[in-house]
């Protein structure tokens, strides 16, 4: 019997949404299995897989050695043989040790053989907790330019649940970026009994309507964009906030529709500015909506530097609400 049954709809945290999505997927499909360092008895670095060794057994909840390349290679083979592995990177930064298996094996296998690789890699990413240069990166753009991979970055508990269920069902490898800062801070009512999608589809979400400037973001920074929009409203500036929970495949229609109406665009993300995903968004907006723009596209991002351990120094680098407000003010006055 399930160890954590719950009402169909209840308010849960972001971290619990991920926990429940894994458990519900495993109960629904015996081919789903979990892999990662210390995920069995310990429950993982963030206790997301707690209780699942007891419920599902050691054949479906597997501890792995500190060998990311081997883990991803084995999981890719398991996926080819009909299983649906979900790997937990203890931190997103550690994917560097498994990069070849991710981008040259899992991502390209369907193109080479015609066989799908239904693999999910979970990435606890992001800063805000003073974890330093090896545990705080936002490296989603490393994967957004790799054909064959899908990339998601949910900002809300509901999307965290929905997108993880969809990622597990999807026949393609999915890079699932979950933000550590949101784990126990963001809560929402999640309907676990609702039908879940069977694949990751692109698209955007208008979270707040506005007329003067469009702010596009994802992950933790979506919350800061919403807070900035509240403050801008007090100054008479109407900001439209768009969340982008799926980065690949990229859905631009809603963004372009908004920019054509507001004539101004700001892209906010926590990853470093140079070659970050915001550069791709800015390029697409410039290519497809240049005639509608009344001001330059602005990116508000992390500077090109490693994350420091010192929380005060880190806070100065992460895009702030005030920084977003200042950027919107400048564009509104252009």
Question: Which residue numbers are catalytic?
Answer: 135
Whether residue 120 contacts residue 176, with contact meaning beta carbons closer than 8 Å, is answered with: yes
- CA nearest 118: which of 156, 59, 165, 182? 165
For residue 174, what are its two tokens? 């999915």
Q: What DSSP designation does 320 have?
A: P
Gap between the Cα atoms of 183 and 83, Å rounded: 28
Whether residue 317 contacts residue 293, with contact meaning beta carbons closer than 8 Å, is answered with: no
- CA nearest 257: which of 281, 230, 288, 279? 288
Half-sphere exposure of 28 (CA within 13 A, CB side): 16
For residue 92, what are its two tokens? 């997103």
H helix runs in 97-193, sequence order: 99-100, 109-113, 141-144, 157-169
Q: How do beta strands 150-152 and 246-248 pair?
A: antiparallel
For residue 9, what are its two tokens? 């709809």
- CA nearest 265: which of 303, 304, 239? 239
Q: What is the dihedral of CA 42, 45, 48, 54, to 10 degrees?
A: -10
Q: What DSSP designation does 104 have?
A: I
């Amino acid at each position: 019997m399930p160890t954590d049954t719950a009402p169909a709809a209840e308010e849960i945290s972001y971290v619990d949404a991920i926990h429940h999505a894994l458990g519900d997927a495993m109960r629904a499909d015996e081919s789903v299995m979990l892999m990662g360092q210390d995920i069995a008895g310990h429950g993982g670095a963030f206790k997301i897989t707690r209780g699942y060794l007891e419920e599902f057994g050691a054949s479906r909840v597997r501890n792995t050695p500190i060998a990311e390349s081997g883990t991803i290679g084995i999981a890719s083979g398991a996926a080819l043989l009909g299983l649906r592995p979900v790997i937990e990177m203890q931190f997103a930064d550690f994917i560097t040790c498994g990069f070849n298996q991710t981008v040259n094996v899992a991502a390209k296998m369907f193109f080479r053989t015609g066989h799908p690789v239904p693999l999910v890699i979970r990435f606890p990413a992001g800063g805000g907790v003073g974890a330093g240069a090896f545990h705080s990166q936002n490296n989603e753009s490393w994967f957004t330019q790799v054909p064959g991979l899908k990339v998601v970055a949910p900002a809300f508990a509901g999307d965290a649940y929905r997108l993880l269920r969809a990622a597990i069902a999807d026949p393609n490898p999915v890079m699932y970026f979950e933000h550590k800062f949101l784990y126990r801070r963001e809560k929402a009512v999640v309907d676990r009994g609702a039908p879940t999608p069977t694949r990751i589809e692109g698209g955007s979400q208008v979270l707040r309507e506005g007329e003067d400037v469009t702010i596009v973001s994802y992950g933790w920074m979506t919350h800061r964009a919403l807070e900035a929009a509240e403050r801008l409203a007090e100054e008479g500036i109407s900001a439209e906030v768009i969340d982008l929970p799926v980065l690949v495949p990229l859905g631009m229609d809603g963004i372009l529709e908004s920019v054509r109406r507001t004539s101004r665009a700001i892209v906010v993300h926590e990853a470093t500015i140079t070659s970050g995903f915001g550069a791709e968004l800015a390029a697409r907006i410039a290519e497809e909506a240049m005639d509608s723009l009344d001001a330059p596209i602005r990116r508000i991002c992390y500077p090109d530097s490693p994350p420091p351990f010192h929380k005060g120094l880190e806070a100065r680098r992460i895009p702030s609400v005030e920084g977003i407000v200042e950027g919107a003010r400048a564009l509104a006055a252009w």
